[in-house]
Amino acid sequence: MTDYYSLLRIPPEASKLDIINAYRRAKLTFRKDSLAVYSLYTEDELAQIRQQVDKAYAVLSDREKRQAYDVQHGYVSAAGNEDKAWLDEDELREEEEEFREVSADVSPAANQEGASNVVTLHRRKVRDYDPDLERRIQSAEEFPGALLREVREYRGISLQEVADHTRISMVYLQAIEAEDMSALPARAYLKGYLGQYAAEIDLEPHCVVQGYPPLSTD
Position 109 scores a pLDDT of: 37
In the chain, list all ranges with CATH 1.10.260.40.
Answer: 131-216
CB distance 37 to 119 below 8 Å: no
Q: What is the mean pLDDT of residues 50-74?
A: 91
Q: Taking the mean position of all CA atoms in its chain, how far away is CA 187?
A: 13
Distance CA 90, CA 79 (A): 18
Q: What is the pLDDT of residues 15-60, one digit of tens each?
A: 888 898 888 888 877 877 665 565 677 888 888 888 999 999 999 9
Distance CA 152, CA 146 (A): 10
Most confident stretch, 6-15, 38-47, 83-92, 122-131: 6-15
Spell 155-194 as b/e; 16+ CB within 10 A means b: bebebeebbebbbbbeebbebbbeeeeeebbeebbbbbbb
Q: What percent of the chain has pLDDT over 70?
A: 72
Confidence of residue 122 (pLDDT cuts 50, 70, 90): very low
Instruction: Say if residue 89's pLDDT is above 70.
Output: no
Start-to-end C-alpha separation, the chain: 19
- Single pTM value for the model: 0.55
Confidence of residue 188 (pLDDT cuts 50, 70, 90): confident
Residue 79 backbone phi and psi in degrees, to 5 = -65, -25
Residue 126 backbone phi and psi in degrees, to 5 = -70, 130
Q: What is the mean pLDDT of the chain?
A: 77
Distance CA 1, CA 199 (A): 24
Position 43 scores a pLDDT of: 81
Instruction: Say if residue 83's pLDDT is above 50.
Output: no
Distance CA 153, CA 141 (A): 20
Query: 4-115 architecture in CATH?
Result: Orthogonal Bundle (1.10)
In the chain, list all ranges with CATH 1.10.287.
Answer: 4-115
Position 90 scores a pLDDT of: 52
Alpha helix (H) ranges present in the chain? Answer: 4-8, 16-29, 43-60, 63-73, 89-104, 108-115, 131-139, 145-155, 159-166, 170-178, 187-200, 205-211, 213-216
Position 104 scores a pLDDT of: 45
Q: What is the mean pLDDT of residues 194-218?
A: 86
Query: 131-216 architecture in CATH?
Result: Orthogonal Bundle (1.10)
Q: Which of 206, 187, 190 is nearest to 198 (CA)?
A: 206
Instruction: Say if residue 196's pLDDT is above 50.
Output: yes
Position 92 scores a pLDDT of: 52
Angle at which helices 16-29 and 108-115 cross, to 10°: 120
